[in-house]
Structure 1
Amino acid sequence: MVRIVIDFGHGGSDPGAVANGLREKDLTMKIGKMIGDMLGEYEGVQVIYTRTDDRFLELSERVVIANKAKADFFLSVHINSGGGTGFESFIFNNPDAKTVAYQNVIHGEIMKAIGNVKDRGKKRANYAVLRETKMPAILTENLFIDNENDAAKLKSEQFLQQIAYGHVIGLEKAFGLKKKAKQQVQSQPKASDKKLYRVQVGAFADRENAERLAEELKKKGYPAIIV
């Protein structure tokens, strides 16, 4: 069993960064839940969320949840601000070799999935959730909420799916995860709830990633076409 803790950055009275009609706490929950849903398609994976609704949690509380669960990996999802653009990831200042290896894989897969976005690099920081967790941990900063072009992408449901997909493929490769043989039919949405997803090839680094996301959406019962 691989236990993965997904931490939606901010929440409750702490909205995180706010700009262009978006709030970081809402985007992190959306992306995090998409990651969790996709991980549900893999064998032997237990997903643990630090929060499941819009509530405030101290950083120390998030750490306690992960440590008590004896998780194998801690993933904290954030949206950046400060006038830049692009994607970056962080691990603790003094990481072990395993954490470095995980960052290399996950960072690379996210960049492949989100396509034409500036790669701000694989970084290190003394963040509490990276320092105090007892397992390998990574914090991702998924574009800048206060950059108009980045914000336009973050308003796209497909782009959020691409971000989530990149995280999941990174975790799949890092931990050698295998897909379940059969999908749970009950988890598919009702026909009345389905909407057509147009997966744009140009939004990805290569066509293969677009095709794989389209397949993922189809497995969940959503019609998807590549354009």
Structure 2
Amino acid sequence: MVRIVLDAGHGGKDSGAVGNGLREKDLTLNIVKKIGDMLKDYEGVEIIYTRTDDRFIELSERAAIANRAKADYFISVHINAGGGTGFESYIFNNTKDAKTIAYQNVIHSEIMKAIGNVTDRGKKRANYAVLRETHMPALLTENLFIDNKNDAAKLDSEQFLLQVAYGHVQGIAKAFGLKKKAKPQPEPQQKPSDKKLYRVQVGAFADRGNAERLAEELKKKGYPAIIV
């Protein structure tokens, strides 16, 4: 069993970064829920969330949740700000743990493959509390810039958020050698009209294979999806 803690950055009174009509706390929760939903399709995974709604949680408590659960991995999802553009990831600046470094390499690479034509700002290190205080390998991702008009346009797209989540999931699955369940879990039936049609745009990915795999993921969950 692989125990993964998913941390949606900010929440409640802490909106995180804001810009272009978007709030970081909303985007991170959206992405994290998508990651968790996709991870349910893999064998031997236990998913723990630091939050599943709009609430404030101290940084130390986020790490404590993971430590109490004796998690195998902690991943914190954020949206950047400050006038830049692109994607970057962080591990604790003093870590010498080979697994932490290896997991960052794999997950960073898979996210970049999934999100396509986006600036790769690199694999970095920082003294962030959630990286410093967790007792297991941990990663913090910064998924584009909310105050950059072009980045924000992507972040305002449900398909792009799906791509971000998909990249995280592909990275986690590859890092931990996860295998897909033989059969998808049954889900409540909905009328086709109740489900949004997802148009998976090939050009938004680094390669067509990722677009095709995401479309298949959506179809397995009962969502209409076409590749355009």
TM range (shorter): over 0.9
Rate the CA distance shift 1:188–1:141 in 2: closer, same or farther, 3 A. farther
> Can you list the C-alpha shifts for 1:19-41, whole angstroms capped at 9, x where unaligned?
10000000000000000000011
- Residue in 2 aligned with 1:182? 183
Q: C-alpha distance in 1, partners of 2:189/2:206?
A: 28
Q: What pairs up with 1:85-96 in 2 under 5 angstroms?
A: 85-95=85-95, 96=97
Q: Is the 8 A contact 1:189 1:220 kept in 2?
A: no
Tell me the SS of whatever aligns to 2:11.
coil
Q: Does 1:134 align with 2:116?
A: no
Q: C-alpha distance in 2, partners of 1:157/1:93?
A: 33
Q: What pairs up with 1:16-165 in 2 under 5 angstroms?
A: 16-95=16-95, 96-165=97-166
> CA shift at 1:192, angstroms?
3.1
> CA shift at 1:220, angstroms?
0.6
Q: Is the 8 A contact 1:189 1:222 kept in 2?
A: no
Tell me the SS of whatever aligns to 1:185.
coil
Rate the CA distance shift 1:151–1:49 in 2: closer, same or farther, 3 A. same
Identity %: 82
> CA shift at 1:188, angstroms?
5.9
Q: C-alpha distance in 2, partners of 1:188/1:143?
A: 35
- Residue in 2 aligned with 1:214? 215
> CA shift at 1:184, angstroms?
1.5
Structure 1 gaps of 5+ residues are: none
**Total equivalences in the alignment:** 227
Q: C-alpha distance in 2, partners of 1:70/1:11?
A: 24
Tell me the SS of whatever aligns to 1:186.
coil
The amino acid of 1:88's aligned partner reads: E
TM-score in terms of structure 1 length: 0.98
Tell me the SS of whatever aligns to 1:211.
helix
Tell me the SS of whatever aligns to 1:100.
helix
Q: Does 1:205 align with 2:206?
A: yes
> CA shift at 1:52, angstroms?
1.3
Structure 2 gaps of 5+ residues are: none
Q: Is the 8 A contact 1:102 1:174 kept in 2?
A: yes
